[in-house]
């Protein structure tokens, strides 16, 4: 595998938003095939995708495509500032915290600080929920459809890619999140009639 040509191919594979927001970095020393840092609210610049190309080349091209598209989907769909109740609570709590700091009200500072922490924690959990994981898989499949894959093929390649990545990384089993993702991909690919219950998606 020629590194420069593979990076160029993967960049062409990405949606336009992915090319604008993310950058691929070769990181041969990492033990993961593909890794990235989950973006925090104040990190507004480029989001980096770190790839161990020595491991990546052991995957089939379709597996590489879907694994990369999935990583891009995670990074470009993080929603810290989408208006909802938790963002509203966070803003209100931050305003309250600022007022209490100015007034040096110890009790008010503790209450406002606690509300801020709870709201930010809930936003963080929403961005890392099982539903977000499934959404990222489905977003990757949608991009793959525009790159010539069928829905069934894309789901199967991502499914086999998840399992192959675990083996390459020396993991004896899949994580809970990966198992749920695999079940959802089997349902998308019509090889299992059982989907993921809504109660599990909210975890």
pLDDT (tens digit per residue) in 53-98: 999 999 999 999 999 999 999 988 765 444 444 445 555 555 555 6
Instruction: Provide the domain limits for residue 103.
Output: 85-127
| Same domain assignment for residues 63 and 142 | yes
Residue 22 β-bridge partners: 47
My answer on whether 58 and 110 are in the same domain is no
Q: What does the alpha-carbon distance between residue 160 and residue 203 come to, in Å, rounded to a whole number? A: 24
Backbone angles phi, psi at 40, to 5 degrees: -95, 160
> Can you read off the two tokens belonging to residue 186?
């089997």
- Residue 112: the pLDDT is 52
Q: First-to-last CA distance in the chain?
A: 39
Q: With a cut of 70, which residues of the chain have pLDDT below it?
A: 39-44, 78-129, 198-203
Buried b (16+ CB within 10 A) or exposed e, 108-130: ebeebbebbeebbebbeebbeeb
Same domain, 175 and 190: yes
Query: What is the predicted pLDDT for the residue at 132?
Result: 86
Same domain, 166 and 110: no
pLDDT at 86: 47
**Same-domain check for residues 44 and 27:** yes
Q: How many structural domains is the chain composed of?
A: 2
Same domain, 31 and 105: no
pLDDT of amino acid 1: 74
pLDDT at 174: 95
Please tell me whether residues 54 and 134 are part of one structural domain: yes
| Residues 193 and 111 placed together within one structural domain of the fold | no
DSSP H or E stretch at residue 49: strand 47-51
Tokens (6 digits) for 36: 């990235």
């Amino acid at each position: 595998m020629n590194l420069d040509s593979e990076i160029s191919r993967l960049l062409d594979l990405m949606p336009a938003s992915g090319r604008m927001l993310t950058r691929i970095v070769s990181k041969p020393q990492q033990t993961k095939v593909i890794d990235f840092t989950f973006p925090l609210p104040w990190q507004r610049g480029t989001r980096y995708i770190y790839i161990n190309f020595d491991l990546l080349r052991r995957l089939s091209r379709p597996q590489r495509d879907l694994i990369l598209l999935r990583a891009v989907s995670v990074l470009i769909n993080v929603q810290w500032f989408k208006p909802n109740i938790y963002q509203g609570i966070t803003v209100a709590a931050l305003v309250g915290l600022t007022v209490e700091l100015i007034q040096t009200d110890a009790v008010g500072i503790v209450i406002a600080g606690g509300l801020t922490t709870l709201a930010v924690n809930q936003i963080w959990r929403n961005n890392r929920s099982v539903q977000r994981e499934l959404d990222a898989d489905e977003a990757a499949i949608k991009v793959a459809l525009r790159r010539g894959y069928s829905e069934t093929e894309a789901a199967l390649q991502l499914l086999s890619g998840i399992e192959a990545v675990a083996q390459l990384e020396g993991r004896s089993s899949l994580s809970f999140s990966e198992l749920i993702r695999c079940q959802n991909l089997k349902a998308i690919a019509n090889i299992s009639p059982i989907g993921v219950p809504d109660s599990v998606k909210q975890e």
